[in-house]
A and B are shown apart, each in its own frame.
Chain A
Amino acid sequence: MIMRNVRLVIVSLALMLLLTIVVSWQLRSAAQRHTATDTYAITNARIVTVSGPAIDRGTIVIRDGLIAAVGANVAAPPDARPIDGTGLTVYPGIIDASTTLGIPRPSPTPGAAPGGLAALFASQAAPSATSPNSTQPPGMQPEILASDLIKPGGPEIEAARNVGITSAQTAPRGNVFLGQSAVINLAGDSPQQMIVRSPVALYVGLNPLGGGQYPGSLMGVFASIRQMLLDARRYQEANEIYERNPRGLKRQNYDKSLAALQPVIAGRMPIVMQADREREIERVLDLAKEYNLQMILNGGLEADRLAARLKAANVPVLLSLNFPKRTTAASPEAEPEPLRILRERVEAPRTAGRLAAAGVRFAFQSGGMTSITDYLANAAKAIDNGLSREEALRAMTLRPAEILGVASQLGSIEVGKIANLTITRGDIFDKNRRIAYVFIDGRPLDLRPTAEIGSRGPNASGTWSLTVNLTGSGNEKQEFTAMLSLQQRAERLTGSLQGQLGSGTISAGTISESDVNFTVPITFPGPGSQTTDAIFTGSLAGNQISGTVQIVGRGAGTFTATRSTVPTSAPAPTPSPDR
Chain B
Amino acid sequence: MKTLMIIVCLIFLANVAGAQSPDRTKTRIIRNATVLTVSHGTLVNTDVLIRNGKIAAVGQNLKAPDDAQVIDATGKFVSPGIIDAHSHTMMDGSVNECTKSVTSMARTQDILNPTAIGIYRELAGGTTAALLLHGSCNAIGGLSTTVKLKWGHPAADFPIPGATPGIKFALGENPKRTNFNIPGLQPRYPATRMGVEETIRDAFARARDYKRDWDDYRAGVARDEKNLIPPRRDLELEPLVEVLEGKRFVHSHCYRADEILMLMNLADELGFKVRTLQHVLEGYKVASEIARHGAMASAFADFWGYKMEAYDAIPYDVAIMTRHGVVSSVNSDSDERARRLNIEAAKMVRYGGLTEDEALKLVTLNPAMQLGIENRVGTIDVGKDADVVVWSAHPLSVYTHVEQTFVDGELLFDRQADIARRAQLEAERKTLEAAESNKSPAQGGTPPRAPSAIRRAYTHDDDIQDGEDRRP
List A residues at the B interface (Cβ < 8 Å). 115-119, 208-209, 212-220, 222-224, 226-227, 230-231, 234, 237-238, 241-242, 244-245, 248-249, 252, 277-279, 282-283, 323-331, 333-337, 339-340, 342-343, 345-349, 485, 487, 494-496, 503, 505, 521, 523, 530-531, 550, 552-553, 555, 571-576, 578
Contacts and interface: CB of A to CB of B under 8 A. Distances in A.
Given A234-B230, A336-B429, A571-B450, A220 B445 contact: no
Contacts of B447: 328-329, 331, 485, 495-496, 505, 571-572, 574
B452 A573 contact: yes
Given A234-B230, A249-B227, A339 B428 contact: yes
Given A219-B93, A326-B437, 9 more contacts: A213-B99, A214-B100, A217-B94, A219-B110, A227-B235, A331-B448, A346-B8, A552-B184, A555-B183
Interface stretch (B40-48, B71-79, B111-119, B255-263): B111-119
Nearest to B19: A305
- Which of B92, B98, B107 has the most A CB atoms < 10 Å from its CB? B92
B451 interface: yes
A279 B112 contact: yes
A342 B183 CA distance: 40
- Which of B95, B228, B439, B445 has the most A CB atoms < 10 Å from its CB? B445
B183 A279 contact: no
A347 to B, nearest CB: 7
Contacts of A331: 447-448, 450
A231 to B, nearest CB: 7
A346 B227 CA distance: 60
Nearest to B110: A222
Q: In the complex, which range does the number of interface residues on chain B fall in?
A: 35 or more
A328 B428 contact: no
B111 A219 contact: yes
Contacts of A213: 99
Contacts of A244: 227
B229 interface: yes
B438 A333 contact: no
B229 A223 contact: no
Contacts of A117: 182-185
A555 B470 CA distance: 20
Contacts of A553: 181-183
B235 A342 contact: no
B182 A552 contact: yes
**Interface secondary structure of A, over-half rule:** mixed
A219 to B, nearest CB: 4
Interface in B177-205: 181-186, 188
A334 B437 contact: no
Given A213-B99, A575-B459, A238 B229 contact: yes
29 contacts: A118-B184, A208-B93, A212-B99, A217-B95, A218-B111, A219-B94, A220-B105, A226-B105, A226-B235, A279-B154, A326-B437, A326-B440, A329-B447, A340-B115, A342-B432, A343-B432, A346-B4, A346-B432, A485-B447, A487-B446, A523-B472, A531-B470, A531-B471, A553-B182, A572-B447, A573-B449, A573-B472, A574-B448, A575-B456
Nearest to B107: A219
B438 A346 contact: yes
A328 B107 contact: no
Contacts of B134: 219
A346 to B, nearest CB: 5
B28 interface: no
A343 B11 CA distance: 9
A557 to B, nearest CB: 13
Contacts of A495: 446-447
B318 to A, nearest CB: 30
Contacts of A339: 425, 428-429, 432
B212 to A, nearest CB: 18
A195 B106 CA distance: 39
A348 B96 CA distance: 32
Contact of B235 (A209, A230, A496): A230
A212 B110 contact: no
Contacts of B459: 575-576, 578
A234 B232 contact: yes
B379 interface: no
Interface string B307-322: 0000000000000000
Contacts of A216: 94, 97-99
A241 B450 contact: no
Contacts of A521: 472
A218 B472 contact: no
B229 A249 contact: yes
B186 A212 contact: yes
A335 B432 contact: no
- Which of B134, B437, B459 has the most A CB atoms < 10 Å from its CB? B437
B155 A342 contact: no
Given A216-B99, A283-B110, A503-B452, A345 B11 contact: no
B233 A234 contact: yes
B156 interface: yes
Nearest to B105: A223
A283 B185 CA distance: 31
B154 A282 contact: yes
8 shortest interchain CB distances as A-B pairs: A116-B184, A329-B445, A218-B93, A334-B448, A219-B106, A328-B448, A115-B184, A223-B105
A328 B445 contact: yes
B185 A118 contact: yes
B209 interface: no
B108 A219 contact: yes
B433 interface: yes
Nearest to B90: A279
A576 B92 CA distance: 15
A575 B154 contact: no
Contacts of B106: 217, 219-220, 222-223
Contacts of B111: 218-219, 222
A552 B94 CA distance: 19
Nearest to A354: B12
Nearest to B232: A234
B276 to A, nearest CB: 21
Nearest to B103: A220
B435 A345 contact: yes
Contacts of B108: 219
Given A241-B227, A333-B450, A326 B93 contact: no
A523 B456 CA distance: 14
Contacts of A226: 105, 235
A430 B472 CA distance: 47
A80 to B, nearest CB: 46
B172 interface: no
Nearest to B142: A219
Contacts of B452: 503, 573
A218 B110 CA distance: 8
B99 A327 contact: no
A9 B437 CA distance: 75
A576 B448 CA distance: 9
Contact of B451 (A323, A333, A347, A523): A333
Interface in B217-232: 227-230, 232
B162 interface: no
A326 B433 CA distance: 10
A214 B432 contact: no
A572 to B, nearest CB: 5
Contacts of B185: 116-118, 212
A529 to B, nearest CB: 9
Nearest to A346: B435
Nearest to A225: B110
A215 B97 contact: yes
Nearest to B234: A227
A215 B99 contact: yes
Interface in B111-160: 111-115, 134, 142, 154-156
Given A328-B449, A346-B437, A530-B471, A487 B444 contact: yes
A335 B93 contact: no
A245 B228 CA distance: 11
B460 interface: yes
